[in-house]
């Protein structure tokens, strides 16, 4: 089952780090990758995170559809993974499935990202000898695809949880899905938390020093990151952890500019594992917890797991 990873630029300077031979008119196309005899490509659209959030939605969706159809018709791709903000702007992938031009399968990859995010939280607490039952956690972007999934899993484990989002009506919908001791708010009340998970589609860094308590652990899932390298340099007490990376054998290294050797995004790995399993299903919209648990088993099966905590790709 051939796959394609469909992503975008984080900022306008990223194009300078991409080999010129990859740039094909309207898209960026990597050489073919071979993962245990399952083949695929990295495909990028020439939009930045800021472009995707500011341009008319119909225009952005059309660019995404054209890239997906190109992968289908020219590369024989059957399974598309929507990376970063291409998920948000297509309603979790549901919009792409509704387009008659595209006949393949779609997976946003956020199920395994949620798994790995929870693993990162537990590994960090073990490393610093802390128990979730003694701590407060804030989840920023709590009603998003990843945020909702990790809220369902982690909120019952913590002393108190602060579920943060921009829209009150979406937070009210979330409340009936979550069990445990929690509050919901549209305010960025992260300074009250011992642990913070960021899982937003914000086009630039969201958290500043004023939003962080002393010795806070931040699991930053967002792309672009919600906690900048500059803030980390100023606040030596704060522990930032890459929330979306898993270990990925160097022999299978995918050509993703800036990706540390031996690492990969969990969302990308989920779709690779689906292709290896030849599972012909769509995984769009809200995360199905049964599928989430299945991706966890796939990760163990193929060895694409979180073995080391990192901050901007460097070991902690």
Go through the chain and tell me how many residues it has.
316
Give CA–CA dist 196/198, Å, rounded.
Answer: 6
Contact criterion met (CB below 8 Å) for 312 and 220: no
How many other C-beta atoms lie within 10 A of the C-beta of residue 154?
A: 22
Return the pLDDT at 165: 95
Q: Which helix (H) or strand (E) holds 138?
A: strand 136-140
Tell me the two tokens of residue 63: 């660019």
DSSP 292: H
What residue segments make up the domains of the chain, in order of their start? 3-110+265-302, 111-245+310-315
pLDDT tens, per residue, the chain with 316 residues: 999 999 998 888 888 888 888 888 889 999 999 999 999 999 999 999 889 989 999 999 999 999 999 999 999 999 999 988 899 899 999 999 999 999 999 999 999 999 999 999 999 999 999 999 999 999 999 999 999 999 999 999 999 999 999 999 999 999 999 999 999 999 999 999 999 999 987 767 889 999 999 999 999 998 778 999 999 999 999 999 998 899 988 888 777 767 778 889 999 999 999 999 999 999 999 999 999 999 999 999 999 999 989 998 888 8
Burial 231-256 (b: 16+ CB within 10 A, else e): bbeebeebbbbbbbbbbbeeebebeb
Contact criterion met (CB below 8 Å) for 223 and 244: yes
Return the pLDDT at 206: 86
Burial 93-126 (b: 16+ CB within 10 A, else e): bebbbeeeebebbbbbbbbbbbbbbbbbbebbbe
Q: Which CATH number fits domain 111-245+310-315: 3.40.50.720, 1.10.760.10, 3.30.70.270, 3.30.70.560?
A: 3.40.50.720
Return the pLDDT at 13: 81
Cα Rg, the chain, nearest whole Å: 19
DSSP states of 45-99: ES--HHHHHHS-HHHHHHHHHHHHHHHHHHH---EEEE-THHHHTTTTTHHHHT-
Q: Output the pTM of the full model.
A: 0.91
Helix axis angle for 266-277 and 289-302, nearest 10°, is 80
Give CA–CA dist 86/49, Å, rounded.
Answer: 9
Give CA–CA dist 226/213, Å, rounded.
Answer: 16
């Amino acid at each position: 089952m051939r796959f394609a990873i469909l992503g975008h630029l984080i900022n306008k300077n990223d194009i300078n780090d991409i080999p010129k031979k990859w740039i094909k008119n309207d898209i960026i196309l990597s050489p073919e990758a071979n993962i245990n005899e399952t083949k695929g490509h990295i495909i990028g659209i020439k939009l930045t995170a800021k472009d995707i959030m500011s341009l008319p939605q119909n225009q952005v969706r059309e660019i995404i559809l054209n890239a997906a159809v190109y992968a289908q018709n020219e590369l024989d791709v059957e399974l598309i993974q929507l990376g970063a903000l291409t998920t948000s702007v297509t309603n979790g992938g549901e919009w792409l499935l509704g387009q008659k031009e595209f006949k393949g399968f779609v997976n946003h990859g956020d199920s395994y990202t949620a798994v790995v995010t929870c693993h990162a939280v537990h590994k960090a607490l073990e490393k610093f000898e802390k128990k979730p039952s003694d701590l407060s956690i804030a989840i920023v972007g709590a009603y998003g695809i990843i945020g909702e999934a990790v809220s369902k899993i982690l909120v019952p484990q913590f002393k108190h949880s602060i579920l943060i989002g921009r829209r009150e009506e979406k937070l009210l919908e979330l409340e009936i899905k979550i069990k445990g001791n929690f509050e919901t708010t549209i305010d960025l009340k992260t300074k009250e938390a011992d642990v913070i998970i960021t899982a937003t589609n914000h086009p630039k860094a969201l958290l500043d020093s004023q939003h962080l308590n002393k010795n806070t652990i931040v699991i930053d899932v967002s792309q672009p990151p919600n906690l900048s390298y500059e803030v980390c340099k100023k606040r030596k007490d704060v522990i930032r952890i890459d929330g979306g990376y898993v270990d990925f054998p160097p022999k299978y290294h995918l050509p993703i500019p800036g990706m540390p050797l031996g690492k990969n995004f969990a969302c990308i790995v989920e779709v690779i594992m689906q292709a290896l399993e030849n599972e012909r299903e769509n995984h769009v919209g809200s995360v199905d917890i049964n599928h989430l648990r299945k991706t966890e088993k796939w990760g163990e099966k193929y060895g694409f797991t979180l073995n080391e905590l990192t901050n901007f790709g460097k070991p902690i």
